[in-house]
């Protein structure tokens, strides 16, 4: 961490408020339904843990791990599943929980892949949306923060595996 220059962008209190709001919206939208929450590892682990704590719905939790980024800050455009779902989702109401939508390539890939199992519904919840960075069209159903510029880290989100454990979200100084 010593050699990373960064400053707080979203504090833990702000994150807490935003995550609670998202959980409330989701709870209302899924009234009477049982959810399967699909957490995209590793970046969304902390967000998902906080989100489900505030959900007023029963849910089953599963994880996928996708690789696309390598160790740099630019996406490679190629997505690999390195850990697949273990829960069958056919006929289920599924909510994908992701840290950041950037180019849209990762989530577009995952949505297509999960749709092959014919879930009853499939929505995407992202903590941070970098809309202007899309390389392909993709719209998340629930968004916590919009971000115009900058590379962020902390609260599960890493730079080269660093900073995931931090409770606030930082932006890298240019
Ligand atoms: P996409 O396929 O370009 O949408 O990639 C999304 C993934 O890129 C996210 O799940 C993150 O893992 C990673 N990513 C995008 N922007 C950032 C950032 O600012 N900090 C850390 N990881 C990022
Ligand atoms: Mg990620």
Whether 81 maps to a domain, the answer reads yes
Whether 73 maps to a domain, the answer reads yes
Spell out the per-residue pLDDT of the chain, length 174, in tens: 667 799 999 999 999 999 999 999 999 999 999 899 999 999 999 999 999 999 999 999 999 999 875 545 555 678 989 999 999 999 999 999 999 999 999 999 999 999 999 999 999 999 999 999 999 999 999 999 999 999 999 999 999 999 999 999 999 997
Per the structure, the complete domain to which residue 53 belongs is given by: 12-147
Q: How many domains does the chain have?
A: 1
Which CATH number covers residue 32? Answer: 3.40.50.2020
Q: Residue 41 CA: which ligand is closest?
A: 2
pLDDT tens per residue across span 47-88 = 999 999 999 999 999 999 998 755 455 556 789 899 999 999
Whether 30 maps to a domain, the answer reads yes
Q: Edge to edge, what strands does the sheet with 59-67 contain?
A: 80-83, 59-67, 35-41, 93-101, 121-129, 142-146
Its pTM stands at 0.94
Annotated catalytic residue, options 93, 99, 102, 129: 102
Q: What is the pLDDT of residue 71?
A: 46
Length of the chain: 174
Q: What is the pLDDT of residue 68?
A: 76
Q: Which of 66, 139, 157, 160 is the best mutation target for the ligand 1 pocket, counting ligand atoms within 8 Å of the beta carbon and taking the most?
A: 157
Q: Report how far residue 37's alpha carbon sits from residue 41's, in angstroms, rounded to the nearest whole number.
A: 12
Smallest CA-to-CA distance from 127 within 5, 26, 29 is with 26
Whether 17 maps to a domain, the answer reads yes
Smallest CA-to-CA distance from 87 within 115, 51, 63, 109 is with 63
Active site residue 21: no
First-to-last C-alpha distance (Å) of the chain = 16
Residue nearest atom 5 of ligand 1, based on CA coordinates: 102
Whether 40 maps to a domain, the answer reads yes
Whether 156 maps to a domain, the answer reads no
């Amino acid at each position: 961490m010593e050699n990373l220059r960064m400053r707080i962008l979203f504090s833990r209190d702000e994150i807490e408020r935003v995550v609670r709001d998202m959980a409330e919206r989701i709870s209302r939208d899924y009234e009477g339904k049982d959810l399967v929450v699909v957490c995209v590892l590793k970046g969304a682990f902390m967000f998902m843990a906080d989100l489900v704590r505030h959900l007023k719905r029963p849910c089953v939790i599963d994880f996928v791990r996708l690789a696309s980024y390598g160790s740099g800050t630019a996406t490679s455009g190629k997505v690999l599943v390195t850990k697949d779902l273990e829960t069958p989702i056919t006929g289920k109401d599924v909510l994908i929980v992701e840290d950041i939508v950037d180019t849209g390539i990762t989530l577009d890939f995952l949505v297509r892949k999960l749709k092959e199992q014919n879930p009853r519904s499939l929505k995407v919840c992202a903590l941070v949306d970098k809309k202007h960075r899309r390389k392909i069209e993709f719209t998340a159903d629930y968004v916590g923060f919009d971000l115009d510029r900058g590379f962020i880290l902390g609260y599960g989100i890493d730079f080269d595996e660093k900073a995931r454990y931090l409770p606030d979200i930082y932006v890298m100084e240019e």
